[in-house]
Amino acid sequence: MRRRLGRECLYVPSCRLGLYLALRHWCPPGGRVLMSPVNDDVIFFVVLAAGLRPVQAPLNARDGSIDPAGLPESGWRGLSAVLTTNLYGNPDPAPELRARCDALGIPLIEDAAHAIGSEVAGRPVGGFGDASVFSLSKHVGAKSGGFLALADPGLRTELARARDALLEPSRLTAELAYALRPYAEAGVRGLRLVRAAHAALRLLGREERAEIRMPLRPGELKQALGTAPGLDGFHSWVRVDMHDYRLRSGRSRLRRTQRLLSGLDQRLAAHRRGTEKLLASPWGDPGGVARAQPLFRVPLLVEDRDAAVAALARHRVTTGYLYDPPLDAYAGEVFTDPSPAPGPAAWFARHALPADPRRADQVIAVLDELGARPARREGPARREASGEGQGGGG
């Protein structure tokens, strides 16, 4: 990662822990952080755990990237940091956001979990911020691990100490479960027991998302805010989908992660090829083919996204990484400052179908068979008349 980014990198057991470290180091408690409303709710809770107030940014409806021009000048004042998302690998406008942050004297923090191979303005995503965080659970497929990359290499020792203070000891049971997980998942897929496995997990209380968003539990969340900054009060939210997020990595986990990371270039090449196919499809961005990135997921824009998800599921293609409704509609003004222009984010969240580029041919065939129609956005006047974007994401 040092060679890829030209920056000092610190290994962390999860991207979310790396982000928490960065927010705690660069942002004063009580600060306001501009972020994307179309984002994993875990990231929202990490921001709250760091003692910060999320501020939802306006988005570009085409690809879900942050739209700096959509935020009025008054919205920039009083920010303590800007946090990018680079949703599905589509780069946020990092050069413009970097210039904005420099003018305001605040840090830019890049969440590059989906964008380990993406570039913007000829530089890798993660090479613009004061800090950037990467996941090894996405393109690499390690289901564990990440990196915190630093613009100032002199901070590595200090942040390594802060990381170590947050880590929990490695557990033999966790390491065994991690080692056996790939074989268990392969067996479940081979026997076509995916639905049964999810039902069993829900029965045992281990399936934590019955819907796209996890339960907010506002009463408990208000109490947790009184403990911030700190992870302990937010643990039940931050751990969702990854209970080992702050567990010290054992040797077997590190060996497997290193082996998978060694094949990253081949994986990125496969993602790029599939991205080009999907962007050229009727549901892709027609202007995106020439600038295709090795996207982690390609957000196809489909009129009836739920019908498309169901059709893909019938062909054993699981659709994950949906972020609907946007965070301001999900959490409300008690817990976040809403976007000044929520319509584009709500539209994108409602129609985006995150497709795995490695299964591009199968996804296109299923959508063709379904007769799925591309989503077409209405003009501003008609949207305002219909009240689109005034609260809900579909």
Average pLDDT by stretches of 10, the chain with 394 residues: 94 97 98 98 98 98 95 96 97 97 98 96 96 96 93 98 93 61 52 52 55 96 98 97 92 91 96 95 72 91 98 95 98 98 97 97 98 83 36 33
Contacts of 340 (CB under 8 A, 6+ apart): 58, 70, 71, 72, 75
CA distance readout (Å), 392 to 287, 326, 349, 389: 29, 8, 10, 7
Q: What is the pLDDT of residue 287?
A: 57
157 class by beta-carbon count within 10 Å (0-12 exposed, 13-18 middle, 19+ buried): exposed
Contacts of 57 (CB under 8 A, 6+ apart): 34, 35, 36, 37, 66, 67, 70, 71, 339
Phi, psi of 162 (to 5 degrees): -65, -40
- Nearest Cα to Cα of residue 93 among 74, 115, 121, 70: 121
Angle, CA of 98, 99 and 104, to the nearest 5°: 95
Q: What is the dihedral of CA 23, 28, 31, 36, to 10 degrees?
A: -10
Q: What is the pLDDT of residue 252?
A: 86
Q: What is the pLDDT of residue 210?
A: 81
Q: What is the pLDDT of residue 191?
A: 55
Q: What is the pLDDT of residue 202?
A: 46
Tell me, rounded to whole angstroms, the distance of Cα 338 from its chain centroid: 19
Contacts within 8 Å (CB) and 24+ apart, 148-153: 148/9, 148/10, 148/12, 148/18, 148/21, 148/22, 149/1, 149/5, 149/7, 149/8, 149/9, 149/10, 150/7, 150/8, 150/9, 150/10, 151/7, 153/7, 153/8
Q: What is the pLDDT of residue 244?
A: 92
Cα gap 152→393, rounded to integer Å: 39
Encoded amino acid at 161, one letter: R
Q: What is the pLDDT of residue 199?
A: 52
Encoded amino acid at 253, one letter: R
Cα gap 307→38, rounded to integer Å: 21
Q: What is the pLDDT of residue 201?
A: 44
Residue recorded with tokens 């991207």: 15
Q: Return the structure tokens found at 276.
A: 């080009």
